[in-house]
Amino acid sequence: MTTLTLRELVIRSMRSNMKHNYLYFFAFMMSTALYFVFATLANDSLIMAATFKDIEFVLLLKVSGILLVAIMIIFVIYANNVFLMRRSREIGLYQLVGLTRRSVGLLLITENVLLGMGALFIGITSGALVSRLFLLILLKLIDSKNVLTISFSSSAAIQTAIVFTILIALTLIQTLYKVYFTALIELLEGERQGDQPVRPRAVLSSMMGLLGIVLIVAAYLLSNQTLGPAFLLQILVILASIILGTYLVFRVTIGWLFYQIRRIKNGQLGLKNSLSLAPIMHRMKSNALSLTLITVLSAMTLTMVAIAYSLYYSAESEARAMLPYDFIFENNEHDANSFRAELESAGLTFVHQPIEAVRLTGRFGTGTEDRHSILLLAAEQLQASGADIVVPGQGEAIWYSGLRKLLSTERNFNFPQVAYLGTYGGYALINVSEGINRYMMNFNVQGSQLIVSEATLADIRQLIPIVPEQEIVHIDTYQIALMSDRAAASDYYERYIKADKYRPSFYAYYKDAHLKFGLTLFIAGFLGLVFMTATGSILYFKQMAEAEQERNCYTILRQLGFGEREMISGIIRKQLFVFAIPLVIGLVHSFFAVKTVSALTLSDISIPAAIAMTIYTLVYFVFAVLTVRYYSAFLNLKFIV
Amino acid sequence: MIQSDMKKTVLHAQQLRKSYGIKGNVQQALRGINLRIVEGEFVGIMGPSGSGKSTLINVLATMDKATAGKVVVEDVDISTMKDAERSTFRCNKLGFIFQDYNLLDMLTVKENILLSISLGKMKKKEVEAKFQQIASDLGILEIAHKYPHEISGGQRQRTSAARALIHEPALLFADEPTGALDSRAATSLLEIMEKLNRQRSITILMVTHDPIASSYCSRVVFLKDGMVYSELYRGSKTRQTFYTEIMNVQAVLGGDHVDPA
Ligand SMILES: Nc1ncnc2c1ncn2[C@@H]1O[C@H](COP(=O)(O)OP(=O)(O)O)[C@@H](O)[C@H]1O
Ligand SMILES: [Mg+2]
């Protein structure tokens, strides 16, 4: 072979491959671009550090970058494998006509390197163009007023180039392995038919199939339980059970179900089912692992995005539930008054309300003998400060526990129940009529918050003598009317906080959460984007390989006289299953995951979760349409979208 | 001859031509073929390799288009039909048996057989009855739920035959149906075809290079270089006599260059 012919070969095969593999090229390019954006943001640590102060932004980006590379490796290796399979006959033919393995290897390497480098180059260029856009989105999310200028980061480019060169090298190894270590006859036989169909063994597969479902349902039920003290172990068990269950569902349950359908049809399967049920059923065995991966990744992405989204959007209400008052001073009238003077001189509109509370020890709740600190607050005083609250009756109390559903042992409490207050020299009994999972006083004030009427509070004070463990707490509360004034007020307040005491103000707490969750949302969305494209593409590539294997089948159908329309509807039904099965299982998984997590937050997470799920479904739909298009074009069927 | 003229014509090909390749390098596979097949005939087509047998059967069976000429099947001119019409026509009126069976690997024997009538509006019970009938005729009832890779070549070919016959086609085409079978399986298939032809008067057109196979036919047409070279009628001759006649023609034709595939 002369060099010229080899070069011609490279060009020709690249051209034909580009036509078929544009999605691979695109996905490779897109992940390069996204990785570059990541690297740019992580590398610009100076600017970022200024914006994010103490938050471990860079670390977060690094971890996400590793995740990104991991999914990229899986994806690229998988896609390359599909291409090698598709081209194995071509590789065999080259060898048959006399090209040495070396020159075939060289041909494929040249091709891979050229394609890879092209994708890398375009990826970095477009990454540089869109990194600004991503930065703007991030800044918008965290409401930053900073104008960040971001320039082309050559260190990010180098980092991206290194990572993706390694990735290309991996595909080269894979390719060379195929060329050097596959027998010629195997190459020529190419991708034939995949596995030969087998009937599932009746008892074993129905048992295993059932086990898969049982494992998943058990994991769902377990995730609905209160997390106990060994909650890490519990989460691990849930995850293991879900993953194993999902694998079994793909490996056995679905095949078993399809087999039952076929048995009921008693031979009269019809064309559509013959083109969808039958091949899917027979391929489940070899596809189970990758489908499990896809499903778990999808569920993870969905859960991650939904949680990040809801954390971000509930940051304010969550902060309010924790800190009902913008600023408080506990037993420090001196500071409280000077703070007040500062607010007045700055001309800010505010409400200042002093509250007299009683802190004592007592016990109620789980019925243990443990005594703990209790803060008694008078409802009338809270009302005066603007709190929306009903005054409990004489001898009655309402417990503002602030506990999240999941972490509380509240479900073991029965209301009403009796609380024993005080011990030294007498005690009082009050009736706790209900528990509410927010706070009425800022959470950093010590003591379980029981709200009583002013009269009840007075009674208790008389009953229980003042001793060191039973003190009167004077709290000055401040509410600032305008959100825009809170920043300035917060600056004054900061000066009264001593380094050793934790006294969060609503504003600082909210800002912190907003920033943290804005960043989390950004990264979750980012990773979600990549995961979505990667899993969708893997399904697409899988179908490319299957189209190749089924080509013969469609030729036969044509000879039998089946029309294009019928065959296309068979293809559509198959793709419906191919995309819907992992999607639906992934959706159900994430539904339960989101449900579990929502018990940890005070606000409603169902809407963001629904939005994330809808977007995911839409993207999968687009992938399914693309796949049907490819499939039809590959089989020379006319399918117009 | 007189007898056949009274019968209905099932297929009539007139001046069929088929050429392959582009200008300058045209290969004429069929060069003006006239062929008339009447109801109930079992026609064998023989000829040396490359003489155009496969091309002819493909054109007659609407799987390929002729360059020129006319094909009429049951009074319908199929040479002017559009692709979609031809598909429907093929599906409803014609049946095929292929040399390499062309069964779908992921379907069971029964599913393969019933696939071709899935588009029709037949009732489930009717379909099942038909299946029972044809499968027991062909002796494949026991393997109905097996996959193609689990059964022998002869069984696969009988499955293929059952699929071709289930919708009661006006014409059954077979291109080298015994080509990949051992002699026992081949004989069994040929006997079945003969029986179907006699008892159900199914019209059959079979391409073969095997004189034994063609001795089962009622007429054998010899092709050479894309044209009809000669024809033999079996009439009331025994199969052995007919076989000898076929061998003689083949010797003249140079039948040593038989098509192996
Ligand atoms: N698809 C095709 N393209 C070009 N030439 C073909 C094609 N199919 C058949 N031919 C040519 O047409 C002639 C007849 O072929 P064929 O009908 O397959 O013969 P037979 O089946 O009798 O062996 C041969 O010379 C063959 O080379
Ligand atoms: Mg032939």
pLDDT at B218 over 60: yes
Please give the pLDDT value at position A466: 62
Helix residue ranges, H only, B142-210:
153-165, 183-199
Which residue in B50, B8, B51, B20 sits closest to B33, CA to CA?
A: B51
- pLDDT-derived band of residue A84, with 50, 70 and 90 as boundaries? confident
d(CA A199, CA A255): 9
From residue A16, alpha-carbon distances to A9, A11, A318, A547 in Å are 11, 9, 56, 17
pLDDT at A194 over 60: no
Domain span at B147: 40-68+79-253
pLDDT at B257 over 90: no
State chain B's mean pLDDT as an integer: 87
B232 belongs to a structural domain: yes
Which of A160, A191, A222 corresponds to the end of one domain? A191
Please give the pLDDT value at position A623: 93
B12 belongs to a structural domain: no
In angstroms, what is the span from residue B17 Cα to ligand 2's centroid? 17
- pLDDT-derived band of residue A406, with 50, 70 and 90 as boundaries? very low
Q: What is the pTM of this model?
A: 0.79
A266-309 residue pLDDT tens: 888 888 999 999 999 888 888 898 899 889 988 888 888 888 88
B33 belongs to a structural domain: no
A132 belongs to a structural domain: yes
Residue-wise burial string across B89-100, b where 16 or more C-beta atoms lie within 10 A, e elsewhere:
bbbbbbbbbbbe
Please give the pLDDT value at position A62: 73
Lowest mean pLDDT among A170-174, A178-182, A322-326, B116-120: B116-120
- pLDDT-derived band of residue B261, with 50, 70 and 90 as boundaries? very low
A104 belongs to a structural domain: yes
Q: Which of B16, B17, B18, B20 to mutate to test the pocket of ligand 1 (most atoms within 8 A of CB)?
A: B20
Give the Cβ contact number of residue A639 at 10 Å. Answer: 18
d(CA A97, CA A398): 88
Strands B76-77 and B68-73: antiparallel
Please give the pLDDT value at position B86: 82
For residue A452, the cross-strand partners are: A378
B32 belongs to a structural domain: no
- Average pLDDT (B175-179) is 90
Q: Best residue in A198, A275, A560, A573 to probe B by mutation, most B CBs within 10 Å?
A: A560
A223 belongs to a structural domain: no
DSSP A446: S
Which of A472, A503, A534 corresponds to the end of one domain? A503
What domain count does chain B have?
1
Give the Cβ contact number of residue A406 at 10 Å. Answer: 17
A335 belongs to a structural domain: yes
Element (H, E) at B73: strand B68-73
B151-173 residue pLDDT tens: 998 899 999 999 998 888 889 99
DSSP B181: S
Please give the pLDDT value at position A576: 94
State which of A262-266, A451-455, A501-505, B42-46 shows the largest mean pLDDT.
B42-46
Domain span at A81: 1-191
Residues of B within 8 A of A562 (CB-CB) are 87, 91, 119
pLDDT at A150 over 70: no
Contact A144, A136 (CB under 8 A): no
pLDDT at A358 over 70: yes
A245 belongs to a structural domain: no
pLDDT: is A173 or A142 the higher one? A173
- Average pLDDT (A534-556) is 86
Q: How many CA atoms lie within 13 A of A320 on its CB side?
A: 9
A487 belongs to a structural domain: yes
CA-nearest residue to A554 within chain B is B104
What is the residue with the minimal CA distance to atom 1 of ligand 1? B20
Please give the pLDDT value at position A421: 78
CATH number for the domain harbouring residue B129? 3.40.50.300
What domain count does chain A have?
2
A219-253 residue pLDDT tens: 998 887 766 666 778 888 889 999 999 999 999 99
CB–CB of A274 and B104 under 8 A?
Answer: yes
pLDDT at A485 over 70: yes
